[in-house]
Structure 1
Amino acid sequence: MADWSQLPRDLIERISKTLDTATELLRFRSVCNSWRSSACSRERRLSSGFQILPNGITKSSFGFCLSKRAVYLIGSPDSQHLSQWLVKLEEVIPDRKRLVNPLSRNPLKSESLPENFPRMLDLNGISVKELGQAYVLRHVSYRPNSTSFTDAGDLYMEKVVMMWLDSEPSEFVLLTIHLSGKLVLFRSGDRTWTIIGEGMGMDSPYDDVIVHKGKLIGVDNTGKVVSVSKDADLTLVANPVFGGDKKYLIQSSRDQLLLVDMYLSIDTEEENFDIGEEFMGHLAQYMRERTVRFKVYRLDAGEKAWVELGSLGDTVLFIGDDSSFAASSSDLYGCKGNCIFFVDTYNARELGGLGKEDDGMWVEGICVFELESGSMGPLVNYPEYHKIFWPPPRWLLSPPSEVELAKQAEGLSL
């Protein structure tokens, strides 16, 4: 049998460079000392709670704290346990992570977890596939003992992307969306954010941003896509595709850039009401946006155009608040592909699909859209998909202690 630890160093290094994620490289380097020394870690880590001083848009003492999240699909190495769990982990302090809902920004409350949920996960002992990454900006105050955030800035911040620059190991750029709908850029070392196109009039507001093939990309409400340089220059990537109400950018599992066009309908909570002064003054309280359908396009880079897809094939798309990502149905047990997971609390409520009590609010509002039939429904109506989100699989839980077993036996004897 060949001794894999004796492979030439240059070959090990070349193989390691084909790995896409930090998780894959970590596991590759864990094989043996020879592989670890030959395959250097390429990941440039951002310190937990990285501070950006101050935001510069409001000229106040408020700034931002940046943290990273990663979405993982974890599965049992035992072929007898064909179950998986989709999770998002955020590093809040060095080497300590917390669980976050994979399609929202909401952390999972510890009391929602089973009592025997492990407090430490050994990722080397289970199957792990990284599906996506997200970055989160939070307002912080550099004014002593300040608790007010009314002056905390004008960034949209639901979606922020980060890209390391090749020029210096510690240099990076951030791209997000201003409340005005314009793109906003931050370069490491800067003292202010740069609002791109400020003073040039109002174009269509931007809906989403992404990093694709080493470029910062933004899409506006018409589907027009631009790339953004570190100097805040814009280059057209794709012309508009009109139709839907909100645009999302996703990199497919085959590295294609996809545009997901969400169509919305505005409904009222009450069918019978008088449109009077009081109603108009509280219009937002009565109106609710409801998702009705999706269209998906792939980018034709040569033509700078979007090509509509009749089918996603075996691809599954996940649309989240702070990140969107794709997976192959071959990686998801029981998932047939050609569908989109998204969050729509209003739709889920109308269709009777809000989370159950034991879901820990983990699946509340998650819906499934099937591209082939155009049908949609709440996640709870799809048990084969529901178990990917909740509950945590049994094989992941710690075995019960002797004390717990004694309590269970005592309960049975009663």
Structure 2
Amino acid sequence: MANWSQLPADLLVEIAKRLESPIYLLRFRSVCSSWRSSVSPRLRNLLGRFPFLPNDGISNTSWGFDLTKRRILLMGSPQNPNPSTPDHWLVKIEESVTGTMLLFNPLSRFQIKPLPEDFPKVLDLSQFRVFELGQEYVLHYMHFGPFRNRLGDAGNLYMEKVVFKFLGSENDSFVLFTIHVSGRLATYKSGDKRWTIIPDMPSPYDDVILFKDNFYAVDSTGRTVLVGLSSNVVLVANSVFGGDKKFLVESRGELLMVDMYLSMSPPGEDPVNDELFEPFDGCLGERTVRFKVHELDREAKTWKVVKSLGDQVLFLGDDCTFSASASELSGCKSCIIFNDNFFYNGGEEDGVFRGRDIGVYDLGNGSIAPLADYPEYSKLFWPPPCWITSATSGAASTDSVEATQLFWPSKWQTNAWLDAYRGPQWCNVHVHDFRD
């Protein structure tokens, strides 16, 4: 039997270069002393924030852009003897410029604030099972003023999501891929002086995704393309007409396209007669009435209709789409969880879903309902389960707390945030086992 501790140092370094998160790297270096001594604890930049980006070629603002990274985490209780208490909690986090963690609604851009008074100031991840379901990148434009801090104010430049890809581990080179306000695709490579707008646009693009290390984009007709690093565009699927907005989602290693159908008509009315409600567009707003799901057939260059998601649940957020197993979520399978203003309830007191609410669509029977009608999913979002607060000792003061700082060993605490691992398995994060 091979002795893993005797693997060549250069091979260990090459393996470690492919680990994209601090947690993976910490676990890797904990295997044995030889692995630990062969690999530096900081192979490359794993920060959640990036240098300012230029605006040339994409915007007329006088300053550049700021890119931030957010993670969607599914946190599990290590021990949950109370069956009435949720086993999991879904949350999105972002590192602020001060090094603390900001919490967000997992499917929207809205920050969760104020946090509950008993929410911990320090969240020790070694006490939980942590699984990353997705990640998102948000592009902001920067502008300065005499009474603002040195970083200026940041506002969202796009209403569409941004996808990100590392190009090299040695110099932290990367490329961004997003949708320009014109509906065309835009890319930026680190080190470039300006953005590149890709002219290909038979119809405005709806969504972009990084799937199997390649950039994909889908337009409003369902036409789907693969975009190379040189901005070349390759058709991978022809149009699928129908629906009002398209989403790209990865599920079980396959690329799915979710078609959202919207209607102006009130519940109970025939959604086909939407033209009757066009004069009231600004008053009524659109509501989601159904979805269709397709799977990419790359060889045939078509989208195949999917009747069932099996054990999978799809999540459609403002800046990120992801999937999870219903067995891990303790919820209904073959469902789509999505944002929808129509379900908004202004009477909610905790403020988490104010201004934007969440719906659940059952792909099996075609039913659609607000999140509140699915207690197993509603508890997944809010409030935080009791084992989150009881597992930590540092509770927030009576003052409002708008950020929580995740616990890391001293050398990591100021240099990295939770760049949680990607993978199919759960992992107990024993941070205290890894000291430098």
TM range (shorter): 0.7 to 0.9
Q: Deviations over 1:112-154 (max 9, x none)?
A: x22121111111221000000100111102676689xxxx999
Distance 2:326 2:218 in 1: 27
Distance 1:69 1:120 in 2: 18
Tell me which of the two structures has the higher relative contact order, counting C-alpha pairs closer than 8 angstroms and 6 or more residues apart: 2
> 1:262 aligned to 2:273?
no
Distance 1:124 1:399 in 2: 10
Per the TM alignment, residue 364 of structure 1 is displaced from its structure 2 partner at its CA by 4.8
Per the TM alignment, residue 80 of structure 1 is displaced from its structure 2 partner at its CA by 2.0
- The partner residue of 1:90 within 60, 70, 94 is 94
- The partner residue of 1:312 within 309, 312, 333 is 309
Per the TM alignment, residue 108 of structure 1 is displaced from its structure 2 partner at its CA by 1.1
1:127 aligned partner, one-letter code? R
2:245 touches 2:261 (CA, 8 Å); kept in 1?
yes
1:236 aligned partner, one-letter code? L
**Cross-structure match for 1:381:** 373
Distance 1:21 1:337 in 2: 30
2:101 aligned partner, one-letter code? K
Distance 1:90 1:207 in 2: 25
Distance 2:346 2:360 in 1: 13
2:365 aligned partner, one-letter code? S
Distance 1:145 1:301 in 2: 54
**Cross-structure match for 1:134:** 136
Partner-residue secondary structure (3-state), 1:158: coil
Distance 1:95 1:7, change over 3 A: farther
1:342 aligned partner, one-letter code? F
1:155 touches 1:178 (CA, 8 Å); kept in 2?
no
Q: Deviations over 1:203-236 (max 9, x none)?
A: 2110001101111111101111111122211111
Distance 1:30 1:100, change over 3 A: farther
2:197 aligned partner, one-letter code? I
Distance 2:393 2:162 in 1: 43
Per the TM alignment, residue 79 of structure 1 is displaced from its structure 2 partner at its CA by 4.2
Distance 1:403 1:214, change over 3 A: closer
**Cross-structure match for 1:244:** 243
Partner-residue secondary structure (3-state), 2:378: helix
Q: Percent identity?
A: 45
Q: Deviations over 1:82-103 (max 9, x none)?
A: 5211000111236422111100
Distance 1:203 1:32, change over 3 A: same
Distance 1:153 1:303 in 2: 42
1:67 touches 1:90 (CA, 8 Å); kept in 2?
yes
Partner-residue secondary structure (3-state), 1:392: coil
**Cross-structure match for 1:296:** 293
Distance 1:38 1:134, change over 3 A: same
Per the TM alignment, residue 172 of structure 1 is displaced from its structure 2 partner at its CA by 1.2
Distance 1:228 1:310 in 2: 29
Distance 1:355 1:214, change over 3 A: farther
**Cross-structure match for 2:106:** 102
Distance 2:185 2:394 in 1: 57
Q: Report 1:257-406 matches (<5 A).
A: 257-267=255-265, 284-332=281-329, 334-346=330-342, 348-349=343-344, 356-358=348-350, 360-361=352-353, 364-398=356-390
Q: Which runs of 5+ in 1 are unaligned?
A: 272-278, 405-414
Q: Deviations over 1:342-377 (max 9, x none)?
A: 01121x14xxx5662135337951110011010011
TM-score normalised by structure 1 residue count: 0.80
Distance 1:56 1:289 in 2: 34
Distance 1:167 1:228 in 2: 22
1:341 aligned partner, one-letter code? I
Partner-residue secondary structure (3-state), 1:50: coil
Work out the number of aligned pairs and report it. Answer: 378
Q: Which runs of 5+ in 2 are unaligned?
A: 270-276, 397-436
1:319 aligned partner, one-letter code? L
TM-score normalised by structure 2 residue count: 0.76
1:203 aligned partner, one-letter code? P
Distance 1:205 1:169, change over 3 A: same
